[in-house]
Each structure stands twice: as C-alpha cells, then as structure tokens.
Amino acid sequence: MTLIRTPVTIVLALAFAQVPLAAYTLQDAYKGHDFFDYWTWEIFADPTHGRVNYIDKSTAISGNLSTATFHKFFMRADSTSVVSPNARGRDSVRIHSNTAYGDSVIVLDVQHMPAGCGTWPAFWTNSQKGPWPHGGEIDVIEGVHLNTNNLASLHATPACIMPPARFQTGDVVSSDCNTQANSNQGCGTSFTKRNSYGAGFNNIGGGWYVLERSRHKGIKVWFWPRNDDSVPLEVKHDSRMVVPDSWSECEPDAYFPTGKQCDYDSHFDDHEIIFDLTFCGDWAGAVWGTSGCGSGTCQDFVDNNPENFKEAYWEINSLRVYTEPDFRHTHTIQHRSSLQTIIDVFNVLLLDASNLPLMVLKALYLLVAIASLTITVLSAAIQPSHELLGKRDDDLPARVPYIFPAPGTDPIADAIRARRANGTLLALDGVLWVSVSICFEGVHYAVYTSRLNAPLIASTWNSLFGVIRGNTTIPGNMRELAILRIATLNNASYEWFQHESVGRSEGLTTEQLRVIRLTPVLKDTTETNSILGPLLSAMMTFTDWSTTTARVPDHVFAELRKFLNDQQLVEATATVAGYNFVSRFLLALDVDGKNNVSVPIPT
C-alpha cells in the first residue's frame, strides 16, 4: 500500500484533524531507591501461567532479588536454587507503579534486561481498573528465550484493529488487538533492530525505550541503542520537557494509530507501569520446542538449572514519565510536589495578567515552568523541512543564525513588528526564531517556533516588554535612563545602540547621556547629580545597585520612593530586571556581533 503525503495534505490534516504538537512535561522520575518508595511488589499467581513465584518486597530485598544504588535499580530472578516440583516456580519479581498515567511519554533508560532460555520478561503498562483486558494493555518490551528482536503489542477488547500499512520501521506481526482473537496474540510489531532485545541488547550496554500514548496520535514506541548518535538529547539526558514530534527519528519502531478502527477512549484508560520476569508460561512454554534451548521441557529447564539465570535481571538507570500540562494524579512523588504547587498557584494568577505586576508574574512563571507549555502549530508555516521558511541572514554575525519570518506567516512576529517603530524586526528578534523539523506521519516538516522552546515565550517576551516600553506610568526618560545605564554597566553595546535614539526622543540630553555613560558605578551615595536632577539620579543609583549586586539597600530604595508610588516602584523594578535579562541574552548570543564593541560615548 502506497501512502501519498504532500505539504498540502499535511496542512489539511493538521487543520481538520487538529493534531497538536504536544510538549510533555516531567511529572515523575524514578531512579534507584525511588522504586522501593513508589512501586508495589506483586505476589499473586502469574496470570500467564508461568513457572514463577513472585515474592514480596521484603523477601526480594533480603534475598538480593531487588536492590538499589543511588543511580540504579536492580530486580532479578533467583539463580542459586533448584526449584522443587511442588513449588509455584522460580523466585522472581513483578512490580507496578503506584501511579497510573494517561496521555504521556515514558522514557526508560535500561542498561540490562533479562535474557536467556526459559525467560519471558516484559516492560508494559496496564489498566488499573480492569477486569483485563478492559482499559487495555501496552507491551513496550517483550520477548522470550533467545530472541534478539523486541516485540511491542497492544491487547484490547474487541473492535480495535490496526491498519496493515502504517508509518513505523518495525514489521507488522498481527493487526487485531482483540484478546479473543488469535489466542491473545494482540496486535504486535517486531522491531527490525536486532539488538533491541536480549543478549544483543545487553552486550551494547542497553539503551532507551520510549512510549508515547496520545488520544490525538495513537501509541508509539521508539528504541535507541546506547551507542546510537541519533538518540534525542531530551531522551538521553534528564530533560524537563520532551517533544516527540521534533525528534530526528521520525518514524517510531512501532506505531499503533487510534481512531475509527480503534477508538482510544473506549479501549485505553489510565495505566500503571509494570516490570516483570516470568518463565515458560503461555508464550515461552508454547515455543520452547523451537527456541533452540535444547531438549526436555521448559519447566524442567527452569527448575533444575539455576546457574542459567544469572543474566535474568533488570538493571534500570532511570524511568521518567512526562505528561501533558493538565495531568493530575493522586500519588505525586514528594520531592516534586513543591514545583507542582508553584505551577498550580501561577495557573490561578495567569487568569488575569492585564497589569504589569501580574505580567511580571506571568513572565516568571514561563521562565520557571517553561516545561508546562504546549507547542502549537502556526497555521501558515508548514513546508517540507529541506525548505527554510523566511529569511536566514548570515551576513549579520551572532552565535546562532537569524530567522525573520515573512510578514503574514507568523502572528507573533507580526505582533513584534507592530511594536517596532518602523515595523522591521531587529537582530534581537531574529534570534528568537528557528525553523525546526517536526514529524507527521513519517515525514519531517518545518515549522517556526521560538528558539526559547515555545512560541508562548516569544509571545510573552513581546507582551512583557511591550508593557514595559509603552504601558507603564513611569516617565519615559526615567525608563530609558535605566536601560542605557544597564547597557553601560554590562557593556551591552547593541542595547545602547538600540536605545540611545529612543532616550533622546524621551527627552534625555547629550549631557545626560554622557553622565549615564561615563559616571562610575554609584554605590556609596544618593547625592543628586546636577545634570540629571533628583528623580533621574535616584533611578540611576537604584539601577546600579540592582544591576551589580541585585540587592538594593533600604536607603537607596527609600530615595526612589520619594518620587514614585507603589505601582511605579514595581514598574521601575520590572524595567531594570527585564532589561538586565535582555542585555545578558544579547551578550550570550553576541547579537549583531557587538560583544567586542565598546558602548559609545555620546556626542
């Protein structure tokens, strides 16, 4: 089956299907001893009829079958004892997360998985409500015996069928997810990477498995080996946010689209996460004769060969769960609850950010909790990724390339143009955008997004500084004095070049500009400069203290209070803080190549 994709079909698909580009934020991270604190050891009889005896946490710890260091968690099978014929099976471990998750991205960094004859390990998610298979099952890692290729599968109630052709690198094994069909084979995809499972996986030091489940896009599974240069940095490192649609590996290893043929909401609810290790059973036992593991029976092998299970263990570096911003659950890991509280408080404050103090809070929220934002597609900015939208002006030096979206193609850029005096984007504006590649149905497309990771940041940047520049009640000459003084103290020549003419238009004279530029740092005096006058002198002293130490003495603040009311004090403080942020941004990126240029002396 040939699947035809063009820029037009992608635009229409995104417009009518309203497929979002979701940014998932870190909700929970499990590492080392976290598994003991936030996971449950299951001890019931294996529902897959394996030759296994699942033991409780205390027994697993005392028997060295569950151990942890600061950085790692281990769970293993017994590899020292011969199993009695009357026993339930070989001692092993099965655990599940205390928290159940809905739409999410789960990133597993695993160093070693159970391998060898007789083994049937799995990393999967399952409905906490049941009865199974109601609510669905998602198998991320699964295999038996000497397998080298991972199998990812779904198991669901009837009326969940996958299309035979879909955008994935793996091979379709079966398409009907119904557990009542094909002896509960489910709908599976076999990975084409031969080191995705078993001994081959362990020999390369493991790697990363990622599960994304979304009611908008379906269910996807990726695998990157440890030595793979293409693993996304946000997967490889402890990122606060992941955006799967931006990953260079566009097609996942396994893709299970949901929609008319498999309604997401009726087949999949919130899932707990599960690691287990069983032996023989419904699958491994059934294929024992063709496994290459020898003669006899699977049960005899498991019972009488403990030394063959030394490789039957999980070594987990970390497991991170990212959720969409509106996610809520009742079992939040305590060391993350303070951040969630901050986010909840600011969500309330964001309901009204019409004045400057709340605009400042909004900006702070976005800087602290940037990971909670969702990237949205800009309606007219989708093309194949090899075509760069807008203008990339490499003639202007900076540490990152400039991109200036064409008028009418980006609403945020147009809003910034409206704020600029001549309607032209500045070099500063150009470094806020980048043409990034996003993945839709197996093809990369370029969209504009802020280089600060979310269009809302660029939008809020424009809103915040639009308020500071045009909607405060402090005098314009006072505002521009602060900005120019910050440029002087930080030697941010680009900032000075942009604001000297503005300062003059607000009434600053050449003599006053020279005072701003040439006066040494004011720290030990609140005396009035005769050229500046008392108000501007107080503002310059306040700016000096705030810029150089961030701590303003009471007597300096008291001097400024003589001229400003409480609202204006907040506005003045926001101006100084905001433009210190701007100057540091300019200097770090060397916008317009002005870092080695001294701030000029006005003439």
| Mean pLDDT of the 66-79 span | 97
Q: Residue 519 contacts by C-beta under 8 Å, 6 or more apart in sequence? A: 529, 540
Nearest to 152 by CA among 163, 164, 168, 132: 168
Is residue 137 flagged as an active site residue?
A: yes
CA distance 350 to 67: 44
CA distance 575 to 484: 11
Domains of the chain, residue spans = 25-323, 375-463, 473-593
Predicted confidence (pLDDT) per residue in 256-298, tens digit: 999 889 999 999 999 999 999 999 999 999 999 999 998 899 9
Q: Residue 476's pLDDT band (boundaries 50, 70, 90)?
A: very high
Nearest to 489 by CA among 541, 547, 536, 528: 547
Q: Residue 62's pLDDT band (boundaries 50, 70, 90)?
A: very high
**First CA to last CA distance, the chain:** 73
DSSP, collapsed to helix, strand or coil, labels residue 276 as: strand
- Domain 473-593 matching CATH 1.20.1290.10: the answer reads yes
DSSP, collapsed to helix, strand or coil, labels residue 439 as: strand
CA distance 544 to 484: 11
Which listed residue (42, 142, 234, 506) is catalytic? 142
Nearest to 499 by CA among 529, 522, 475, 477: 477
Q: Is the pLDDT of residue 491 over 90?
A: yes
Which two three-digit tokens encode residue 56? 């409780």
Which listed residue (137, 212, 441, 500) is catalytic? 137
| Residue 366 near residue 382, CB atoms below 8 Å | no
Q: Residue 398's pLDDT band (boundaries 50, 70, 90)?
A: low
DSSP, collapsed to helix, strand or coil, labels residue 532 as: coil
Query: Which of 9-18, 197-206, 320-329, 471-480 has the weakest average pLDDT?
Result: 9-18
Q: Provide the pLDDT for residue 376.
A: 31
Query: Which of 171-175, 482-486, 526-530, 572-576 has the weakest average pLDDT?
Result: 526-530
CA distance 105 to 517: 52
Nearest to 100 by CA among 27, 34, 51, 150: 27
| Residue 488 near residue 517, CB atoms below 8 Å | yes
CA distance 244 to 439: 8
What average pLDDT is seen over the chain?
82
Burial tier of 347 (Cβ tally within 10 Å: 0-12, 13-18, 19+): middle
Q: Residue 533 contacts by C-beta under 8 Å, 6 or more apart in sequence? A: none
> Count of CB atoms within 10 A of residue 195's CB?
22
Q: What is the DSSP string of 127-157?
A: ESS-STTTT-EEEEEE--TT--S-EEEEEBS
| Mean pLDDT of the 192-215 span | 96
More confident residue, 413 or 489: 489
Q: Residue 341 contacts by C-beta under 8 Å, 6 or more apart in sequence? A: none
| Mean pLDDT of the 577-586 span | 91
DSSP, collapsed to helix, strand or coil, labels residue 307 as: helix
Q: Provide the pLDDT for residue 226.
A: 96
CA distance 121 to 123: 7
Predicted confidence (pLDDT) per residue in 436-469, tens digit: 555 655 555 544 444 444 455 666 777 788 788 7
Q: Provide the pLDDT for residue 296.
A: 92
CA distance 347 to 471: 24
| Residue 21 near residue 377, CB atoms below 8 Å | yes
Angle at 423 between CA 417 and CA 426, to 5 degrees: 70
Is residue 495 flagged as an active site residue?
A: no
Q: Residue 432's pLDDT band (boundaries 50, 70, 90)?
A: low
Pairing status of strand 90-92 against strand 52-54? parallel
Q: Residue 415 contacts by C-beta under 8 Å, 6 or more apart in sequence? A: 459, 462
CA distance 410 to 388: 14
Which two three-digit tokens encode residue 122? 């799995």
Q: Is the pLDDT of residue 22 over 80?
A: no
Nearest to 276 by CA among 431, 45, 582: 45
Q: Provide the pLDDT for residue 425.
A: 82
DSSP, collapsed to helix, strand or coil, labels residue 387 as: coil
DSSP, collapsed to helix, strand or coil, labels residue 481 as: helix
Q: Provide the pLDDT for residue 407.
A: 85
Q: Residue 63's pLDDT band (boundaries 50, 70, 90)?
A: very high
Q: Is the pLDDT of residue 353 over 80?
A: no
Going from the C-alpha of 331 to that of each of 101, 321, 336, the distances in angstroms are 11, 13, 11
Q: Residue 203 contacts by C-beta under 8 Å, 6 or more apart in sequence? A: 195
CA distance 154 to 177: 6
Most confident of 136-150, 440-454, 542-556, 575-589: 136-150
Q: Is the pLDDT of residue 338 over 70?
A: no
Q: In what order do the strands lie in the sheet with 443-450?
A: 383-384, 443-450, 433-440
DSSP one-letter code for 23: P
Q: Residue 347's pLDDT band (boundaries 50, 70, 90)?
A: very low
More confident residue, 491 or 13: 491
- Cα R_g (the chain), whole angstroms: 30
CA distance 154 to 125: 10
Q: Provide the pLDDT for residue 222.
A: 97
CA distance 142 to 144: 7
Ramachandran region, residue 205 (left: φ > 0; alpha: ψ -120 to 50; beta: rest): left
Residue ranges of alpha helices (H) inside 283-407 are: 298-304, 337-349, 356-368
Q: Is the pLDDT of residue 121 over 50?
A: yes
> What percent of the chain has pLDDT above 90?
59
Q: Is the pLDDT of residue 571 over 50?
A: yes
Q: Provide the pLDDT for residue 243.
A: 84
Phi, psi values for residue 325, rounded to 5° = -55, -25
Four-CA torsion 393, 396, 400, 401, nearest 10 degrees: 0
- Domain 25-323 matching CATH 2.60.120.200: the answer reads yes
Q: What is the DSSP string of 54-105?
A: E--HHHHHHTTSEEE-SS-EEEE---S-PPPTTSS-EEE-EEEEEEEESSEE
Number of H-type helices and E-type strands within the chain:
18, 22
| Mean pLDDT of the 359-368 span | 46
Q: Residue 368 contacts by C-beta under 8 Å, 6 or more apart in sequence? A: 342
| Mean pLDDT of the 120-129 span | 94
Q: Is the pLDDT of residue 76 over 60?
A: yes
Predicted confidence (pLDDT) per residue in 23-61, tens digit: 899 999 999 999 999 999 999 999 999 999 999 999 999
CA distance 573 to 580: 11
DSSP, collapsed to helix, strand or coil, labels residue 212 as: strand
| Mean pLDDT of the 427-440 span | 63
Q: Residue 523's pLDDT band (boundaries 50, 70, 90)?
A: confident
Residues in a beta bridge with 323: 25, 104
Q: Provide the pLDDT for residue 324.
A: 82
Which two three-digit tokens encode residue 172? 């379709």
